Homo-oligomer: A and B are copies of this chain.
């Protein structure tokens, strides 16, 4: 094993540990691990009668990202963000995480340091303790996070809670991450700061997990079922419907399209990206009929748009898109038609 890798391996865990300890955010002030990195396992204080949430997500070079176009800081941050998004989709509070990283021998120590900094920074923002890690040499770069959260018993928001008649909502706007991925794949020069292209690339590289929104949607009981949009509406809505034993109708005209997506892909391409594109990490949720005003109130309170994009229907009616021209197109049929869309490649 080369000296460079050896340095990186030991250094990486130490660096994450020290950055994570040093930078305790305001939300992290309330609790501390009994024991963090450095023993055989971390010890976390009892969360009283809270249930524990546990999730894991993996980012691999060439599959989930490309190291060539992903700054180390944003890679480390995103590895946490995608897991935070899962905890958000359960209505939970993130508490602590462990990571595993595989670095190719050619990895520059500066890049690994940036990854560590991104991990630690995002942990700090969310009041999260990084309590363990493991790294080694690997043929391709990967970064895995396992994230532990807490939720009040019975308050977890499952995928399976939707019922026919529920409204179907989405936070934020969709399509920007897919537009950003298309720009990155084209290999064009980085778009200028403040441009739509820059915002789109940023949406792909640095998605914002909707932790506060997910928590409030769970605590208030507004969300009857919830999932995060990691693979996109086209794939994630059928998952929510399958778990709930329902169908759904999405009104194309009601789907919020990110302005950055429209600027990069044009209006038609952006509308498709909003439905087919993945990695927006917005929350998709169902709420009982009659709760529209309460959802709108919550959205205003946290300054995050929540759009009603359709309705949950009985299972036998399937999962359909109601297009602007008034046609009902099955979700399964969209997949083929959008095959060459960037997010699919």
- Residues in A lying within 8 Å of B, measured CB to CB: 34-35, 38-58, 60, 62-64, 85-87, 89-90, 92, 96, 98-100, 102, 131-140, 142, 144, 146-149, 151, 153, 156, 158-160, 226-228, 243
Contacts and interface: CB of A to CB of B under 8 A. Distances in A.
What is the count of identical protomers in the complex? 2
A10 B180 CA distance: 27
Given A40-B90, A100-B100, A139 B140 contact: yes
B63 A136 contact: yes
Contacts of A142: 102, 138, 142
Q: Chain A's interface: helix, strand, loop or mixed, by majority?
A: strand
A217 to B, nearest CB: 13
B38 A243 contact: yes
B34 A51 contact: yes
B44 A102 contact: no
Nearest to A131: B54
Contacts of A85: 40
A56 B134 CA distance: 7
Contacts of A146: 54, 56, 98, 100, 146
A144 B102 CA distance: 11
Contacts of A43: 51-53, 90, 151, 156
Contacts of A86: 40-41
Contact of A148 (B35, B136, B144, B148): B148
